[in-house]
Amino acid sequence: MKRALTSLLVSAILSLAALGAVVDGQWSAEGSAKTAPKKLSIHVNQNSLSGTMDGMAITRSGVDGGFFWFYVVRNGADFLYKGQIKGGKIELRESGPHVHRTLTFTRVQ
């Protein structure tokens, strides 16, 4: 009983902290697409995010379960990014005017 309760508590605490701990930090884009964003700095604040993408501030954002999303204004247009952690990397779906692609970011050591 003791062991079950302890493991329940530990897993609850871990899952609480999980997304923030995993996502927070500096990230760098894989690949060399010219128009793709290169650098991502991100911080989870409970149910929203703060940070920058190539120096441009995140405007609106949300965190929901293991997923997060945010907007950045790039070249004067609103771009939506939908993200999640997969295999220790951030997989981001980028959606903007005439741009719809999936980007991968690795943590900057």
Partner 1 sequence: MRFQAVITTALVVVVAVAIPGQANAQNPPAGAIFDLATAHPAAFSASAYTQFTTSFVASATSEYVSFAFREVPAYFSFDDASVTQQGSSTNLLQDPGFESDTAANVGTNFPVGWGRWIQPVDTTAIGVVASGNTGDCASSGPHTGSYFWCDGSVQGYDGLYQQFNGLTVGATYTITFWLTDNSGDPMSNPQIDMLVYAGPALPTGTQTIGTPPAPILVTTPVPGTVWLMLLGIGALGLYLLFRRWNAPRIGGIKT
User: Which residues contribute to the site for partner 1 (CB under 8 A)?
Assistant: 1-2, 5-6, 8-9, 12-13, 16, 46-48, 60, 62-65, 67, 69, 71, 80, 82-84, 93, 95, 100
If the CB atoms of residues 37 and 69 are measured against partner 1, the closer one turns out to be 69
Other Cβ atoms closer than 10 A to 58? 21
Length of the chain: 109
Q: Return the SS3 of 65.
A: coil
If the CB atoms of residues 43 and 108 are measured against partner 1, the closer one turns out to be 43
If the CB atoms of residues 13 and 56 are measured against partner 1, the closer one turns out to be 13
- Give the whole-angstrom CA distance, residue 19 versus residue 84: 9
